[in-house]
Structure 1
């Protein structure tokens, strides 16, 4: 069954985990996002992915614009994350992912929706190759 929610447990909020992610995580870019990910051991019963979103205050000095960018990204993620969830559950993996918006303009939702789908495919490929090398 598909779940189209983005619950509190699925949000990346742990300061420790975020620091570890930025220190040890692997990264790639799909414009307008820079994605940092790290396979992790989350507590039992936790969802397979914890995701975080950010936008630079240098590019978007107004908080309204930063919030809009993050909201659009979370919505695109929420609608498409199920394929990645299924893939990770199949391989018994858990992942921490952070999306950093790098463009200087707010992209339309259709563009972000497409880019998030490309990112999800890349994450599936990356975790499949990481899982094979373990």
Structure 2
């Protein structure tokens, strides 16, 4: 895996996102939640990921966009470390439901915790 977050890795399909929230499982590391679903994609990508921040908690688009940039960057830099051994295909949605704008260091630490919980949960299911 490369340290990129290109167009093919972004979760954009409305059908897949809807299925993700109806049938998917989740793990949490406050203030983040990872909703995931084992699925299959036509293109040769193991993980398609998206990020979301609640408009209810952050009225200003500037704040929402900042948090989404932090989440995408933390995902981009840590996906190789955690998901290089995964053989199945997954759809991910990373949700931020905190009340204040976090620092990058805090987000990165929580994303790592979230990924470790996901790997542990998937290891138990296999």
Under a length normalisation based on structure 2, what TM-score does the superposition of the two structures give? 0.94
Q: 1:61-105: CA deviations, max 9, x gaps?
A: 1111100000000001100001333121xxx21111101100010
**Aligned residues of 1:36 and 1:97 also touching (Cα < 8 A):** yes
| Count of equivalent residues | 126
* Structural RMSD (CA): 1.2
2:59 aligns to what? Answer: 61
Q: Corresponding residue for 1:80? A: 78
Q: Could you tell me which residue of structure 2 aligns to residue 114 of structure 1?
A: 109
Superposition deviation, residue 14 in structure 1: 0.3
In structure 2, the gaps of 5 or more residues are none
User: What are structure 1's unaligned runs of at least 5 residues?
Assistant: none
Per the normalisation by structure 1, the TM-score is 0.89
**1:115–1:55 CA distance, 2 compared to 1 (3 A):** same
CA distance in 1, matches of 2:13, 2:81: 24
